[in-house]
Amino acid sequence: NGEALATARALDAERRASGPRSPLHGIPVILKDVFDTADMPTTGGYIPLDGVKPSKDATIVARLRAAGAIMLAKVNLSDWFGNPDIMASSTLGGSTLNPFALDRTPGWSSAGTGAGLAAHFATVGLGSETGFSIRTPTSDSNLFGLSTTSGLISRAGQMWSYITGERGGPMAHSVYDLAATLDVIAGFDSDDLWTAQSLGKMPMTSYVSFINPDGLRGARVG
């Protein structure tokens, strides 16, 4: 995003003048290239869509911007339409490598988000999965990720495969960052009526409020 630095400076000035909009104010976000962004192309990693810009942001991208987050970049994925050489590559972007070991895979289709976060390009990112495409790169890149219940997060403006199983979700370096992002993007969206399933099932307080920093103190993990 060529405007990322200008956006950051404007958000810094706003924070000094009136305080933060949310915990995500001024935080850089990377996006799997299935989420529409009006200022950057959305390609799905597919060569024929190279350079194609949507007319508006995906719902959850718009919510992140409204919360003060900076859309830093779109990242690689496994495209659905070509024949990439490995599971973490696209015909447009090529192979995604694992920053911890370049000869190892960084996971399945949300591999670009996982690798980008592992390389500390951003604080949080968005992934999506039909099967386990958030959970695998989260594991392979030593991150925290949430494959949300179908219907919790809007898919309006997101490329996806089938209505009952496709879901988006946050990926991050900590549980707090994950929960703070979920607070912004979760909930009903009239542009994706599948999210009506979330009505009456979300907590009355923020997801962040359930975090106990000492929750694992004294625990034995094997």
Look at the alpha carbons of 15, 29, 198, 157 in this order and tell me if their dihedral is positive or negative. positive
From CA 190, how far away is CA 154, in angstroms rounded?
Answer: 9
Catalytic residue among 78, 109, 128, 154: 109
Which residue shows structure tokens 């999965």? 129
| Closest CA relative to residue 124, chosen from 203, 79, 42, 182 | 182
| C-alpha dist (Å) from residue 187 to 137, 149, 174 | 25, 11, 22
The strand pairing partners of 156, in sequence order, are: none
- Establish whether 161 is a catalytic residue: no
CB 126 within 8 A of CB 168: yes
- Establish whether 147 is a catalytic residue: no
Catalytic residue among 32, 141, 147, 154: 32
Catalytic residue among 133, 147, 154, 198: 133
Q: Report the 10 Å Cβ neighbour count for 115.
A: 26
From CA 88, how far away is CA 111, in angstroms rounded?
Answer: 6
Task: Give the pairing of strands 167-172 and 124-129.
Answer: antiparallel
Starting at the edge strand found earlier in the chain, the sheet holding 144-145 runs 70-75, 28-32, 124-129, 167-172, 144-145
- Establish whether 32 is a catalytic residue: yes
Q: Which two tokens stand for residue 50?
A: 């190279």
From CA 124, how far away is CA 126, in angstroms rounded?
Answer: 7
Residues acting as catalytic residues: 32, 109, 133
